Structure 1
């Protein structure tokens, strides 16, 4: 490991000492302000907690155009079922395994902490033009920080987003997105005679709901819905009580559970049918999900239970809602339109479901959102779809793309890959605010973001650093 890679990892380690769950970025924002002041750089914060750091040009580079280096401060907080990690206060603990860096029992936060580390190192360690370091808040829950960027705080019109996840790939476009919240009113009785059973789906791989949506990774909420439907059709004896699943709009659910009340005289039948359904699910999903666990356990607590009618409504709604890739692009094999059946919960009066949609086109985003709204309406549920965020349309005539391709090919003796991604990047929102912004996205290789299996490929750090250092020299 060379000295520069070690420095980037040291910065990343310091970043990971600070809790930075989405919506709770004050500590990391304050740390960035303190870092800026220690280095003598001017710094601003806006009302959304975005941080703007202004780095003067290196000697002799004062007349070069201003370059914005951009990353987001928050991370997707996922952990294994047995983990006691508290993302509100505990540091992320990195573990090295060969060429890979991961965390002990949680997501690593390389998305996008490693991008932050690159930006900070660029400001102090290479010859560069004037820089504006832009660190945005609350990206992972809806790109809220980017939506609140103050135009007057940015003078640069070249932006390098450091939130892509494969070294040697330049991203020049991304999907737009929209979330839909579904609420099904319930009538729950305080006490129904019988035994309470907890049915749980666990051990799935999960992943990023954009870049992993087509990889045959099962959704725990979808599997739970299939299990419940089989039980309802074969027995018609249970009353659903508590339910929960998923953790974030942009993470494929890895676990989900439901609690049901079963009449005392029919518990044997219920168990028999459950284990048959569980065996069937394991058989058809085992190739893709070898860690799948399906469990049934009696619980002592009594839970308010839904009526038979509402139990059926819940099961039918969850089975009717789509999940996964809905349409592929014509030529590239890239997912064009998709949705993630993201979270599920029951409160006293309602079933709450969140679906997160993505598409490269506004027309198709409207279509998939309308499909979900229609299913909700047919089930007698209320729905609210947000405004969402725009996609980023590729610009093959981009000057920064042309320069990046030239520098990369000269540096490494091969051409980079140029692509668009089925994920939300802040470039879409920034481009809508600044129509003259020339943008590109890049980063080191990260696998399995948004889940505890997230890992960073260490050898890719030096490649990204060497390229960025060379690119900074070429921007005149």
Structure 2
């Protein structure tokens, strides 16, 4: 890690971020980061405890003269999305993130940076460890497992917190104040199949779709970026329809909340048809690249001859699988009728595994409308069940309904205007924030979300803007000084 990072202003934020990023913190494996936060809280002599699901709570008394202000909850999540480039050698479970400064941006070498939500956590740590920042009484809430199920927020019991205002520091646009978000549900389709012995007189190929941008499956879904699973399926469909292509294995995508950047398949073709197949693939690949030319400049689709696999997918199952993926919606389902430019409902076909007699398809369906979330989820269920799959819904979480009469919203808007001489955007986002879940057990808590500019979250091109983080920090300090008095 470059020492330059620790010298960036505000040093207190970037130093805490550097310390945080030295600790492996994959979702569902947060034991080390939980202990790190407990040790941090105790090292500065603050009341620190872990709730029954693993969330860390650190409490700090108000500074002198701020005792009569409302107690605030400062909230961020400890886990991070783990994505890396295929050619990057890196172990997220044992290594800290390799960071470097590139002009006005902080980046990681071939992996996700962890600015989502590490910068928010670091900012909270900076306030907790400070000696000279004015603030009311603080309850710092560091949740676990936000990225793969929000189980930390779901497991937080009512009554643990007494704060009246929650500052969620987990948005990615520094000119935006978040007042709402989408809910989501995991849709998983599974099917077993009989492996058929590979025929004689066939030629085997590997197909690799790679080089896509990927990105956040909520915030970036509106961009129309390439989905490696859908692109791969186009190739498989064409090869099957015209040349009898048979699938041996598929490994596509990774996490549900990341738009798939890569997909890999092993297939076979009757040797007599291989030249026609390869010629047809060249034509289709060029068409696909042309379609994505302006937004996926690094898209690469490679077909290489490989050793013949022993088995292929049962023919009938293969056909229904390919057609189901073709039919299943990926991308925007409905735009919000109330907020210009906001995606209301979408789906990400995130993960496809075909191997050893089993098929698994993982989707994440999002919506700010609970009824439309289930409408799309049921549409996907119908599609996959018609193809003979078993479908399971899991990990459902609610959206966060905007409150335009929010007291903390008025404060943030006014302070933003005073500091930066322009109006902030007040918006809901098409991503899963924990506010909606936390609001179920704390329905009277006034909530708001804001943060610095982060680009490419959930992908190896994730980067955090240094000047924007300075802007965010300036706003946060001003907000802390202006929390209203207790009723």
Q: TM-score, normalised by structure 2?
A: 0.95
* Partner residue in 1 for 2:414: 406
- Paired residues in the alignment total 475
Distance 1:286 1:71 in 2: 37
SS at match of 1:244: strand
Work out which of the residue numbers 217, 233, 236 in structure 1 matches 2:241: 233
Superposition deviation, residue 303 in structure 1: 4.2
1:469 aligns with one of 459, 462, 477: 477
Question: Does 1:110 pair with 2:118?
Answer: no
Question: What pairs up with 1:19-418 in 2 under 5 angstroms?
Answer: 19-125=24-130, 126-193=133-200, 194-236=202-244, 238-300=245-307, 302-331=309-338, 332-386=340-394, 388-418=396-426
* Alpha-carbon contact 1:170-1:417 (below 8 Å) kept: yes
Which of residues 440, 451, 459 in structure 1 aligns to 2:467? 459
- The secondary structure found in structure 2 opposite 1:340 is strand
Select between 279-288 and 251-260 the one with higher mean Cα deviation: 279-288
Consecutive aligned runs of 4 or more in structure 1 exceeding 3 Å deviation: 1-4
Q: Residue by residue, what CA displacement relative to the aligned partner does 1:45-102 show, whole Å, maximum 9, x if unpaired? A: 1232110001111123223221100000011111111000111111111111110111
1:406 is displaced (CA, Å) by: 1.9
Contact persistence 2:248–2:355 (CA under 8 A): no
Counterpart Cα distance in 2 of 1:233 and 1:61: 71
8 Å contact from structure 1 (residues 199, 294) kept in 2 = yes
CA distance in 1 between counterparts of 2:8 and 2:335 reads 43
Partner SS, residue 371 of structure 2 = helix
Please list the CA deviations of residues 422-460 of structure 1 after superposition, one character each: whole Å capped at 9, or x if unmatched: 111000101112110100000011011000111101001
Is the 1:242–1:303 Cα contact (8 Å) retained in structure 2?
Answer: no
State the match for 1:18 in structure 2: 23
* TM-score, structure 1 normalization: 0.97
Distance in 2 of aligned mates of 1:462 and 1:283: 40
Residues 268 and 308 in structure 2, CA contact (< 8 A), matched pair in contact too: no
Does structure 2 conserve the Cα–Cα contact (< 8 Å) formed by 1:72 and 1:135?
A: yes
Per-residue deviation, 1:346: 1.6
Give the whole-Å Cα distance in 1 for the aligned partners of 2:284 and 2:392.
Answer: 34
Distance 1:128 1:276 in 2: 63
Distance 2:422 2:325 in 1: 48
CA-atom RMSD in angstroms: 1.5
In the alignment, is the contact (CA less than 8 A) between 1:29 and 1:49 conserved in 2? yes
Between 457-466 and 267-276, report the one with greater CA deviation. Answer: 267-276
SS in 2 for 1:374: helix
Asked if structure 2 preserves the Cα contact closer than 8 Å seen for 1:357 and 1:369, the reply is yes
User: Corresponding residue for 1:6?
Assistant: 11
Unaligned runs of 5+ in 1: none
